[in-house]
Amino acid sequence: MATSHLFVCIILCTYYVAHGGDEHGGFATVLTSRSFQPEAAVCSTSRGGLLRCSRARANYITSQGTVTTLAADDGANVTIPAHLGGSVESLEYVVTVGLGTPAVPQVLLMDTGSDLSWVQCAPCNSTACYPQKDPLFDPSNSSTYAPIAGGGSQCAFAIEYGDGSHTRGVYSKETLTLGPGVTVRDFHFGCADDQDGSNGRYDGLLGLGGAPESLMSQISSARFLALGGAPPAGANTSGGFVFTPIRVEVATFCMVNLTGISVGGKQLDIPPAVFSKSKGMIIDSGTVITELPHTAYAALRSAFRGAMSAYPLILPPPNQGLGTCYNLTSFSNVTVPTVALTFDGGATMELDVPDGILLEGCLAFQESGPDDLFPGILGNVNQRTFEVLYDVSHGKVGFRAGAC
Ligand SMILES: *[C@@H]1O[C@H](CO)[C@@H](O)[C@H](O)[C@H]1NC(C)=O
Ligand SMILES: *[C@@H]1O[C@H](CO)[C@@H](O)[C@H](O)[C@H]1NC(C)=O
Ligand SMILES: *[C@@H]1O[C@H](CO)[C@@H](O)[C@H](O)[C@H]1NC(C)=O
Ligand SMILES: *[C@@H]1O[C@H](CO)[C@@H](O)[C@H](O)[C@H]1NC(C)=O
Ligand SMILES: *[C@@H]1O[C@H](CO)[C@@H](O)[C@H](O)[C@H]1NC(C)=O
Ligand SMILES: *[C@@H]1O[C@H](CO)[C@@H](O)[C@H](O)[C@H]1NC(C)=O
Ligand SMILES: *[C@@H]1O[C@H](CO)[C@@H](O)[C@H](O)[C@H]1NC(C)=O
């Protein structure tokens, strides 16, 4: 991975920052009025399932031409506010950056699960591009835009994501403004004019994976990139974090090993062999719902249903892919078990109650597949209110609760 000296810190905040209830012995009571309303227009309603918002496992990226590493101003600390994409009808996290000269604001999906960034570019009609929040980015209006040429002709790019969507267009470079005074010259990205699949109304995607096409690699000389919050004052960036080793796979994915799950303060009885047999978990801000391998998911679901037996399950579940949903309309408050994920080395994430556990009244986990076939994915719902610090040079990732 090229980002050997870069710290990346991603803080995902929900709209509701305060804990709303009592915590007692592995359970927390929360008021339903606050906690179970959709926080953003859900991609599932019109596009057939939250699953389809998942972007992990980008299948391939084709782009010709070499990517030269370039500089944000040396030693710059970059902070970009991130927020849930409610304004762009997405349950994913977005950031606003400036593209071009003069800089035009662009609302981009933050995706640690893919690499090449792209925006929809003019000219593009309503058949080839989806409707977005802002006017299409118009390269002809920018004095710093250039297509990247290879062998005398423009390079094309094409990305197919794990959710079946694709984006294609012209591989390009442009000035990217991340914040006041922080610009990345010759930022390599895709100027897209051929889209297919589910998207919110965001203007494009910011690829934060580990491959050379990613923003991370392109600004690897910056010391600290904070998406969603400032680096903590005083600069002991490891204080308060619990760390677990990461490995980087297919250049893009940061993988961690899950070793245990607890529900309501009780460790689930999952044989260690299950975890060693599974392929680990991808940390992915671009995926909404966490996916666990079969045995781990089944144990979690069963314990969670047991702890929530006072509430009526909705069958069949309204949310495709989410098998455990409750009808909470007649309850003024709900007592939810805490859920904690433990990773290699003992690092434990106590998920936020309820925002890290329930999504619209459904257990915010799903099954990735057989234990030994697919890696799990740590999606953004469970990362909410956590600060996630990727310390790539030391091969570890840290989690810190209560970041919002
Ligand atoms: C939209 O653009 C595509 C590609 O340029 C073209 O094939 C298609 O006919 C256009 N559709 C309309 C409705 O103009
Ligand atoms: C591009 O520039 C033209 C002429 O200055 C202007 O009318 C148009 O609104 C600009 N388009 C965008 C998308 O900025
Ligand atoms: C970046 O942050 C580090 C640690 O917080 C600090 O020591 C350094 O002065 C900052 N650099 C700039 C350019 O603000
Ligand atoms: C930073 O904090 C961690 C954990 O609290 C501590 O172990 C480490 O010594 C601190 N580092 C510095 C430079 O103060
Ligand atoms: C995770 O587990 C696998 C297989 O048990 C092992 O090879 C790997 O080193 C472990 N750690 C990480 C960070 O992947
Ligand atoms: C949820 O419960 C309410 C009141 O108990 C009931 O009227 C409603 O039909 C239930 N909805 C579903 C989807 O089961
Ligand atoms: C929760 O609701 C129950 C009745 O359903 C009520 O007795 C209790 O006082 C409520 N607790 C809180 C913290 O609102």
- 353 falls within a domain: yes
Q: How confident is the model at residue 265 (pLDDT cuts 50, 70, 90)?
A: very high
Residue 147: what residue type? P
* Domain identity same for 211 and 305: no
* Domain identity same for 54 and 199: yes
Tell me: the pLDDT tens digits for 62-94? 222 222 222 334 444 555 555 555 555 555 677
* Domain identity same for 250 and 168: no
Residue 192: what residue type? A
* Domain identity same for 51 and 107: yes
- 38 falls within a domain: yes
* Domain identity same for 55 and 120: yes
* Domain identity same for 80 and 212: yes
* Domain identity same for 387 and 269: yes
Tell me: the pLDDT tens digits for 156-165? 888 887 777 8
- 236 falls within a domain: no
- 400 falls within a domain: no
Residue 152 is predicted with a pLDDT of 73
* Domain identity same for 356 and 252: yes
* Domain identity same for 157 and 78: yes
Ligand showing the shortest atom-to-Cα distance for residue 27: 7
Say if CB 358 and CB 35 are below 8 A apart.
Answer: yes
> Of all protein residues, whose CA lies closest to atom 2 belonging to ligand 7?
333
Tokens of 160: 């197919």
Q: How confident is the model at residue 39 (pLDDT cuts 50, 70, 90)?
A: very low
Residue 283 CA to residue 399 CA, distance in Å, equals 11
- 234 falls within a domain: no
Ligand showing the shortest atom-to-Cα distance for residue 315: 6
User: Can you give the CATH number for the domain in which 180 is found?
Assistant: 2.40.70.10
Q: In angstroms, what is the span from residue 77 Cα to ligand 3's centroid?
A: 6
Alpha carbons within 13 A on the beta-carbon side of 69: 13
- Most confident option among 93-102, 115-124, 382-391: 115-124
- Closest to 118 (Cα-Cα) out of 5, 130, 53, 182: 130
Is the Cβ atom of 143 under 6 angstroms away from ligand 6? Answer: no
Say if CB 369 and CB 294 are below 8 A apart.
Answer: yes
Say if CB 203 and CB 133 are below 8 A apart.
Answer: yes
- What are the catalytic residues? 111, 284
Say if CB 296 and CB 274 are below 8 A apart.
Answer: yes
Whether 197 has a pLDDT exceeding 60, the answer reads yes
Positive or negative, the Cα torsion across 373, 321, 340, 8? positive
Return mean pLDDT, the chain.
Answer: 72
H/E segment holding residue 262: strand 258-263
Residue 105 is predicted with a pLDDT of 94
DSSP category for residue 100: T
- 293 falls within a domain: yes
- Closest to 114 (Cα-Cα) out of 283, 291, 366: 283
Q: What residue numbers bound the domain in which 133 lies?
A: 7-227
Residue 89: what residue type? E
Number of structural domains the chain divides into: 2
User: Residue 136: CB partners within 8 Å, gap ≥ 6?
Assistant: 120, 121, 122, 123, 124, 129
Tell me: the pLDDT tens digits for 317-374? 766 668 899 998 888 888 999 999 999 998 888 887 877 888 878 898 988 888 887 7
* Domain identity same for 70 and 200: yes
- 334 falls within a domain: yes
**What average pLDDT does the segment 178-200 reach?**
84
Q: In angstroms, what is the span from residue 228 Cα to ligand 5's centroid?
A: 29
Domain boundary among 201, 227, 253: 227
Is the Cβ atom of 96 under 6 angstroms away from ligand 3? Answer: no
Is the Cβ atom of 315 under 6 angstroms away from ligand 6? Answer: no
* Domain identity same for 110 and 65: yes
Dihedrals phi, psi of 28, to nearest 5 degrees: -135, 140
Domain boundary among 227, 250, 271: 227
Domain boundary among 185, 201, 227: 227
DSSP category for residue 189: E
* Domain identity same for 218 and 287: no
- Closest to 97 (Cα-Cα) out of 175, 10, 212, 11: 175
- 111 falls within a domain: yes
Residue 88 is predicted with a pLDDT of 54
Tokens of 305: 């249903």
Of 6, 73, 77, 178, best ligand 3 pocket probe by most atoms within 8 Å of the beta carbon? 77
Which protein residues touch ligand 1 with a CB less than 6 Å away? 125, 127-128
Residue 5 is predicted with a pLDDT of 37
